[in-house]
Structure 1
Amino acid sequence: MKLNRLAAVATAATLTFAGVAVAGPAEAAPRKPGVVVDYAYHTIKQKPKTIRPYKDVFYSNVRWTSLTKTTGSATATRNVNTCVPSCAEGNYKKTKVKLKFNRVRLSDCRKVFSRVKVTVIKTKKTYAHPLPVFAASDC
């Protein structure tokens, strides 16, 4: 039993010194950026279903079509609080939109998208908005 263990250690040492890598646990792939899910909290998720980047605007039914290290694309429903008769009433106007995420920055030591380009599907109007990013603390 001890001889087998000794032989295994010797073989691994020989392969390592010969420049051959010994198969070990797979290294973690670089993480793709996430999105700050709620402007009031520091919650970050990758491919969230709902995004609340501003006080009176949120995106629901988010369906991700692509996500890379530098960009992300999705379709969603934009919900804008009309504030009629008051903002507390929560009357929302819903619009189908396409979302393009870019400008990767660090937020709480994690990569997140810091900008979104919103295209209204019906009218093709395009808007670009910053997304919340929080200062890194003790990375």
Structure 2
Amino acid sequence: MPESHDPLRSLFQEAASTGRSRAHCVPVSAVTERGDRARRHRVAALAAVACLVFAGGTAAAVTLLPERPHPSVPATPGPSKPSPTPPRTGTPRPTSTAESSAVPTSTSSRGTSDGTSATPTQPPTQPPTTQLSSTRLP
């Protein structure tokens, strides 16, 4: 079938030939630069979204938690309980030099019929004594 002479068709063919003659390849560096720019924009957008999600989660957690948690106790051993005191007898104990030089913090005017105070007192703790052995090493 012979092609008819269409004026529109001839205009399109003329535009195509002009475009082919002016077309040229873009340098590789320009293409790489556009790709890098697009990648930077995507990373910046992702970082902004991550910051917004983190801020929103933190704000939600602060509003939903009723109060701040109490600080936890450190995992160190606490003070040991004092050993029970032996029953007091009528004989006075010998006093040490540290005990005699200590200044009493309070005095009690109340006493019992036998002359001792009504408040119980703790006996001073003395450091344990060690015995040195007389073994010789070869």
- Give the TM-score of the pair, scaled to structure 2: 0.24
Structure with the largest fraction of strand: 1
- Give the TM-score of the pair, scaled to structure 1: 0.23
Structure with the largest fraction of helix: 2
Higher radius of gyration, 1 or 2: 2
Question: Greater relative contact order: 1 or 2 (C-alpha under 8 angstroms, separation 6 or more)?
Answer: 1
